[in-house]
Amino acid sequence: MDASIRILNRIEPKNPVMVAAWPGMGNVAYGAAMYLKESLKAFKFAEISPENIFFRTGIQIAEGIVSIPELPKSEFFFYHNSAGERDLILFIGEAQPVMEKEYQLARIVVDLALSNKVKEIVTFAATPVNITHHAEPGVLGVSTRADMLHKLPMYGVRIMSAGHIGGLNGLLLGVGKGSGVDGTCFLGEIPFYTAKIENPRSSLAVLKVFSSYVGITVDLSSLVQMAKFVEDEIDRVSKSTKQTLFGDETQKEEGEEQEVKEEGQMKSQDRIPSEVRDRIEYLFEIAESDISKAGELKKELDKWEIFQEYEDRFLDLFGGKNL
């Protein structure tokens, strides 16, 4: 085993499955893994020394005093599933390293998995789609073997036929496959406009699928409450921003507004050229880093009479990312 792994407690897992997660879009993967760790009271049994993987690139300031930040933790936890057939090994990384170090870290995680006779690694991720934050998110899935993939719909998972899973949440499955370890990734849907906001609703959808998939009972009630809180906060910020930008226009009846929005979306799908859609996406990218460009984006949306279609995403530029 890699010398950078520090073993704190010996474990004897029974038919273990490993879950590995790092922060990413919507904090879906990291949030789901942390909830698993806390709710199952999994105990820490190993950690990876961060010195050769992470670098200090800045300082921390507290009340004007400068300090050197600690390097991100990369820790392993164990849960004995006495009521089921598969124990659980959790790997949770506080941050993903620079690209040049991603493979090295993935290799270390797979080595520990092999040493504990793990036969499958499961990762979580997020996939942005055109839904609202009130919608029930679906879960997509990929696997390293066709026979495993074909079983996923039994758990309410839709197959992700093409695409890309960025970072270690995806790379780890490839490294594991090269070492003979099966891999599966569950991707929770999130609205495009909430990619930078924590999304416990999507984490909840992923954990419902995962708990059924591995036969582990998890009390998800606290996560349900958290999802409702975040949903209410997005509504609050959205309403406040609308009032600031448009004044009395926000007093419209919610049902009437939603009906107009959906009707406009259906009509716009057929009449808006693809190059216009591409320009709008480009303007969104610019506005995310320079809010002064939001005015140009608003003009473009008004020009094509599709502001309502992008309204929530546009308003998120102003307030949503501060939740």
The pLDDT score that the predictor gives to residue 321 is 39
First to last CA, the chain: 42
Give the domain ranges of the chain. 5-219, 245-322
Q: Which tokens go with 264?
A: 């406009």
The pLDDT score that the predictor gives to residue 77 is 98
Written as one string, the DSSP assignment of 121-171 is EEEEEEEEES--TTS---EEEEESSHHHHTTGGGGTPEE--S----SHHHH
The pLDDT score that the predictor gives to residue 320 is 42
CATH class of the 5-219 domain in this structure: alpha beta
Q: Which residues of the chain have pLDDT under 50?
A: 250, 320-323
CA distances from 280 to 45, 71, 190, 274, 320 (A): 49, 39, 20, 10, 19
CA distances from 193 to 56, 133, 245 (A): 31, 9, 18
Residues 160, 165, 169, 173: what is their CA dihedral angle, to the nearest 10 degrees?
Answer: 70
Is residue 294 within 8 Å of residue 318, measured between CB atoms?
Answer: yes
**Distance between CA 220 and CA 216 in Å, rounded?**
12
Q: Are strands 120-129 and 17-21 parallel, antiparallel or unpaired?
A: parallel
Is residue 277 within 8 Å of residue 304, measured between CB atoms?
Answer: no
The pLDDT score that the predictor gives to residue 300 is 84
The pLDDT score that the predictor gives to residue 194 is 78
This prediction has a pTM of: 0.72
**Closest by alpha carbon to 266, among 139, 138, 130?**
130
The pLDDT score that the predictor gives to residue 256 is 57
Q: Are strands 43-48 and 74-79 parallel, antiparallel or unpaired?
A: antiparallel
Give the pLDDT confidence of 50-98 residue by residue, as tens digits.
988 998 888 888 889 999 888 999 999 999 998 888 999 999 999 998 8
The pLDDT score that the predictor gives to residue 60 is 85
